Amino acid sequence: MSRIDPKLRKLVADLVALQKRAKALGIFANDRELLECPHCGLMEDVAANGMLITCREPDLGLDTGLRFKPWGKRAFRCPACGKKVTEPPPGQCPEDAS
Ligand SMILES: [Zn+2]
């Protein structure tokens, strides 16, 4: 039971490689929650083409060109205001909270 099928192992390795490539291209790999800065309102969104963008109300969906930078474990630095933004817990969408 503990033996993993070599085919499955290969599939998982391929998937991880694909996720890395997608990330390098700027495509959101869906491996974490989308970020929203509580200080200035800059938020991440995924465009129709799968690209990760950042936008602000009222121009939702309009890419600002800014990207959150990793800042320690599960934390990011807001590119607009420079404040620390922690990743929301999995499954909790900021839009659902209101
Ligand atoms: Zn901010």
Q: What contacts 63, CB < 8 A, 6 or more positions away?
A: 47, 51, 53, 54, 55
- The residue ranges of DSSP E strands in the chain, in sequence order, are 43-46, 52-55, 69-70, 75-77, 84-86
Q: Is the pLDDT of residue 98 over 50?
A: no
CA of 40 relative to ligand 1 center, distance in Å: 4
Q: What value does the mean pLDDT take over residues 21-25?
A: 89
CA of 74 relative to ligand 1 center, distance in Å: 16
pLDDT in tens, 42-86: 999 999 889 999 999 999 999 999 999 999 989 999 999 999 999
Structure confidence at residue 3 (pLDDT): 84
CA of 86 relative to ligand 1 center, distance in Å: 11
Structure confidence at residue 4 (pLDDT): 87
Domain extents in the chain: 1-31, 32-97
Structure confidence at residue 30 (pLDDT): 86
Q: What value does the mean pLDDT take over residues 12-40?
A: 92
Centroid of chain to Cα 13: 21
CA of 31 relative to ligand 1 center, distance in Å: 22
CA of 29 relative to ligand 1 center, distance in Å: 22
CA of 85 relative to ligand 1 center, distance in Å: 8
Phi first, then psi: give them for residue 54, nearest 5 degrees.
Answer: -125, 145
Centroid of chain to Cα 85: 13
Q: Is the pLDDT of residue 5 over 90?
A: yes
In whole angstroms, what is the distance from residue 7 CA to residue 56 CA?
A: 44
Tokens of 24: 């390098």
CA of 79 relative to ligand 1 center, distance in Å: 7
